[in-house]
């Protein structure tokens, strides 16, 4: 399995911004991409890529709108690992004002950015396996962690609302599954420790979040809800700009297939405490371990994101959260109501779903994909027409 050896964008980008400020207007934007990526002066660690999966469900006529597949055995250098308090600037563009990685909803003292790493330290860090419980405000079984200052979700009202969604079974594509961070992957084994040099990224789609998307796709297609799963890399070979590239992909497929009613961006989270301890959110469902799942729905908190339709997305998000909590107790972490866009402005039923963290196993995440797929089928059944 091919993995990034020391993947860090946060530090590289922040350093580049400082360098740009110092150099001034003498350097054009065209000269910067390789420096931002970490190729040349910033990077120092080699990343080997092999065993690239050929799995792709991308129609040929749209392939020009998305990033091409990496060549086998290609390599690039990466910047140093960041301090967890640093934020990238790039991700705040297409995501509507924020960093690519959502803030963890477990507690304010825990960061969902990738962990601090000392390249000279090949030691181990602690992993704590736990079920993240209910927190935030709630109505019944639905809990919400609210990142907005100007809006709250009226959970009761949303549960009784009708989403702007019309599903036609056994017809054209109804659901689009994408991955903004296609290389996000999981731990190889379930342990109470992790290597401080380990970085959970891979170009092997059978080992990444793509495999989780496959499980959701299977459930929806089996129920007659035709689903298109796009496995294009948006964060490789360049990590900066992933949301911009994903946006182009989504828009291309929505134009090609106007029957699509829902877009699901499948991710995995990372929760790392200040002391380097990583959290593995897990729940036992039907005597089997599942990676806990967090739904994210966005909001135009200050009216600056050109995201007027955010309320439409919240209807579907809350109704799926309700189904998950009632059908599979412990599967869902509190829903995160984020003051950001994450390309959710492109359809009225857009969702971003985080499956576990970097210390959950792929098997746990895939099992959660199956469970969420079951829930999606039941929720979308209410919106079947014709």
Average pLDDT rounded to a whole number, residues 193-200: 91
Q: Would you state the pLDDT for residue 169?
A: 96
Mean pLDDT computed over 324-333: 98
- The Cα 131–Cα 117 span in angstroms is 26
**Confidence check: pLDDT of 36 > 90:** no
> What is residue 55's predicted lDDT score, i.e. its pLDDT?
33
33 versus 377: the higher-pLDDT residue is 377
pLDDT at 35 over 80: no
**Domains along the chain?**
10-381 (3.40.630.40)
- pLDDT of 126 above 60: yes
Closest CA to 330 of 358, 361, 363, 367: 367
Which comes out higher in pLDDT, residue 8 or 292?
292
Q: Per-residue pLDDT tens for 237-251?
A: 999 999 999 999 999
Residue range 118-139: mean pLDDT, rounded: 85
Q: In 24-78, which residue ranges form alpha helices assigned H by DSSP? A: 33-37
Geometric angle at alpha carbon 103, from 98 and 108, rounded to 5°: 130
176, burial (CB in 10 Å: exposed 0-12, middle 13-18, buried 19+): buried
- Residue pLDDT, tens place only, 83-108: 332 233 444 455 665 555 444 444 33
pLDDT at 328: 98
pLDDT-above-90 percentage for the chain:
67
Inter-CA distances, 152 with 73, 120, 310, 311, 323, Å: 48, 45, 12, 11, 20
- Asked whether residue 47 carries a pLDDT value surpassing 70, the answer given is no
Q: Which two tokens stand for residue 100?
A: 């690519």
3-state SS track over the chain? CCECCCCCCHHHHHHHHHHHHHHHHHCCHHHCHHHHHCCCCCCCEEEECCCCCCCCCCCHHHHHHCCCCCCCCCEEEECCCCCCCCCCCHHHCCCCCCCCCCCCCCCCCEECCCCCCCCCCCCEEEEEEECCCCCCEEECCEEEEECCCCCCCCHHHHHCCCCCCCECCCCCCCEEEECCCCCEECECCCCCEEECCCCCEECCCCCEHHHHHHHHHHHHHHCCCCEEECCCCCCCCCCCCHHHHHHHHHHHHHHHCCCCCEEEEEEEECCEECCCCEEEEEEEECCEEEECEEEEEECCCCCCCCCCCHHHHHHHHHHHHHHHHHHCCCCECCEEEECCCCCHHHCCCEEEEEEEECCCEHHHHHHHHHHHHHHHHHHHHCCECC
Contact in structure between 347 and 260 (CB atoms under 8 Å):
yes
pLDDT at site 199: 87
Q: Which of 16-30, 37-51, 365-379 has the highest mean pLDDT?
A: 365-379
Q: How far is CA 94 from its chain centroid?
A: 14
pLDDT of residue 277: 97
Report which of residues 261 and 45 the model is more confident about: 261
Phi, psi of 252 (to 5 degrees): -65, -40
pLDDT, average across residues 155-174 = 97
Per DSSP, the three-state class of 22 is helix
Band (163; pLDDT cuts 50, 70, 90): very high
Cα–Cα distance measured from residue 78 to residue 66, given in angstroms and rounded to the nearest whole number: 23
DSSP 158: H
pLDDT number for residue 386: 78
**Could you give phi then psi for residue 28, rounded to 5 degrees?**
-85, 160
pLDDT at residue 115 tops 90: no
* Mean pLDDT of all residues in 351-380: 98
Residues 202-214: tens digit of each pLDDT: 999 999 999 999 9
Q: Is the previous residue joined to 237 through a cis bond, with omega within 30 degrees of 0?
A: yes
């Amino acid at each position: 399995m091919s993995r990034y050896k020391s993947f860090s964008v946060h530090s590289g980008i922040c350093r580049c911004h400082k360098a740009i400020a110092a150099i001034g207007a003498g350097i054009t934007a065209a000269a910067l991409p390789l420096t931002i990526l970490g190729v040349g002066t910033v990077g120092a660690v080699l990343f080997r890529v092999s065993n690239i999966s050929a799995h792709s469900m991308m129609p040929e006529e749209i392939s020009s709108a998305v990033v091409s597949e990496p060549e086998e055995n290609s390599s690039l250098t990466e910047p140093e690992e960041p301090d967890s308090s640093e934020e990238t600037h790039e991700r705040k563009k297409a995501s509507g004002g924020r960093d690519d990685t959502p803030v963890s909803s477990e507690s304010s003292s825990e960061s969902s950015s990738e962990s601090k790493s000392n390249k000279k330290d090949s030691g181990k860090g602690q992993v704590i396996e736990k079920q993240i419980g209910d927190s935030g405000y709630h109505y019944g079984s639905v809990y919400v962690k609210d990142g907005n200052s100007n809006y709250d979700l009226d959970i009761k009202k949303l549960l009784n609302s009708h989403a702007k969604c019309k599903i036609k079974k056994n017809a054209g594509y109804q659901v689009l599954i994408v991955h903004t961070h296609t290389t996000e992957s999981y731990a190889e084994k379930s342990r109470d420790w992790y290597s401080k040099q380990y970085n959970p990224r891979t170009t092997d789609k059978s080992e990444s979040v793509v495999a989780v998307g496959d499980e959701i796709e299977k459930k929806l297609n089996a129920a007659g809800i035709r689903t298109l799963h796009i496995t294009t890399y948006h964060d490789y070979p360049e990590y900066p700009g992933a949301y911009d590239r994903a946006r182009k992909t989504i828009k291309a497929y929505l134009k090609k297939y106007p029957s699509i009613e829902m877009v699901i961006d499948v991710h995995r989270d990372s929760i790392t405490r200040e002391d380097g301890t990583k959290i593995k959110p897990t729940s036992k469902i039907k005597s089997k371990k599942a990676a806990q799942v967090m739904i994210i729905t966005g909001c135009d908190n200050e009216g600056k994101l050109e995201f007027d339709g955010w309320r439409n997305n919240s209807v579907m998000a809350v109704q799926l959260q309700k189904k998950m909590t009632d059908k599979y107790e412990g599967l869902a972490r509190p829903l995160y109501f984020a003051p950001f866009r994450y390309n959710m402005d492109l359809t009225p039923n857009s969702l971003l779903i985080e499956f576990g963290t970097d210390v959950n196993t792929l098997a746990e995440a895939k099992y959660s994909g199956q469970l969420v797929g079951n829930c999606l089928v039941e929720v979308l059944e209410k919106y079947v027409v014709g």
